[in-house]
Amino acid sequence: MSFRDNPLGELKVPLTWAAAIALIVAVVAATAILLSDRRETFKAEAYGATRRASDTYLAPVADVLAAPGRWTGQGADSVRDYFGAASANHDLKAELREMKQWRDVAIALKDENERYRALLGLKTDPPIPMVGARIVTDSHGPFADTRLANTGREHGVKVGNPVMSENGLVGRVIGVTDGASRVLLLTDIASRTPIMIDRTNARAILTGDGGPNPRLDYLRGRDPIREGDRLLTSGDGGVLPRGLPVGTAVKGLDGRWRAVLAADAAPIDFVRILLFQDFTQVVNQKALSETPAPPPTPVPTSGSLKADEPAAGPAAAPNPAVAKAPPPGAASPNPRPKPPAAGAAR
């Protein structure tokens, strides 16, 4: 059957005309919209009226037509999140473990920085030069309690130098080599430290006995110490500078006075070694040498000068009392009176 014999062949002309008419209507509508929105026809109320009317009617229609797309996207996201929850949970747990590690590192760095600031702010009065060090190992035993610091002879450390933490006195150096120093703690049985009670200025000897609280020996005076008194180095003997914090006084279970060491408030890992030798080190030698000496006191000569009369200078007249003695046989200018005879007194 040919195309012309097709029953639908008669619809060809009406469809063509319908398409042409629709095209013409669309062109006319578009032209009308463009002409209605020209700036030449601007009015305060009428500008864009056609476009506003079209937007008013098209917005709800577009919203309804877009709703299935939104719902489809939301459903797809929900399904994807549901099936990906296990993987996301695993990733979150791994990230949480990593953050906990960094949290621990941050806390450790914060504590370390606070201790560094405390050590850097450590000052003595009068000022004493000091060097920083880190405790690298310790030695515990029934008869020894020492530490090894990583600073030695190259920084001027000598035997006897006191060692301090940011809280108080730790001990003193008993051995030095290149790059290391041996520190004897206050708790060692060989440790003897002269101290004083800050409240009464009483003296005592802090004696280590291997325990955490060394005892106070040789206390003198009436009521020299009380519970909680602050203990400082006394400087007696010139071994340690005066006024370094040691701890507080407590009464032990054995009835003896002991010390709660201030250095035990934190781990002993970062310390400062005081380069202290003797008390002449803390004296301002330059100011002492520049102080003028007092003038010498003149010595008065015997004879005609009185006790309150200043001594004569180089141009003063010679003292007649020390004049040259007369030759033998010559009469003295000031003869002595002879003593009276015994019978004349009667």
For the segment 128-160, what is each residue's pLDDT rounded down to a tens digit? 888 989 998 877 666 678 999 999 999 999 999
Q: How far apart are CA 226 and CA 204, in angstroms?
A: 13
Question: Maximum Cα–Cα distance for the chain, whole Å?
Answer: 207
Residue 173 confidence (pLDDT): 94
Q: How far apart are CA 171 and CA 162, in angstroms?
A: 6
Residue 307 confidence (pLDDT): 47
What are the structural domain ranges in the chain?
10-41, 130-282
> Residue 176's closest CA among 153, 160, 148?
153
**339 prior amide bond cis, ω within 30:** no
Q: Kindly list the distances between the CA atom of residue 224 and the CA atoms of 112, 143, 198, 251, 252, in Å, as whole numbers in the listed order.
A: 39, 30, 10, 13, 16
Q: Are the C-beta atoms of residues 132 and 272 closer than 8 Å to each other?
A: yes
Residue 280 confidence (pLDDT): 63
Which amino acid is present at 282? V
Which stretches in the chain have pLDDT values below 50? Answer: 11, 44, 46-47, 304-309, 311-318, 320-323, 325, 342-346
Residue 155 confidence (pLDDT): 92
For the full predicted model, state whether its pTM sits above 0.75. no
Q: How far apart are CA 41 and CA 30, in angstroms?
A: 17
CATH number of 130-282: 2.40.10.340
Q: Kindly list the distances between the CA atom of residue 90 and the CA atoms of 77, 78, 86, in Å, as whole numbers in the listed order.
A: 19, 19, 6
Structure tokens, 237: 């003997």
Structure tokens, 276: 């202290």
Q: Give phi and psi for 334, each to the nearest 5.
A: -125, 75
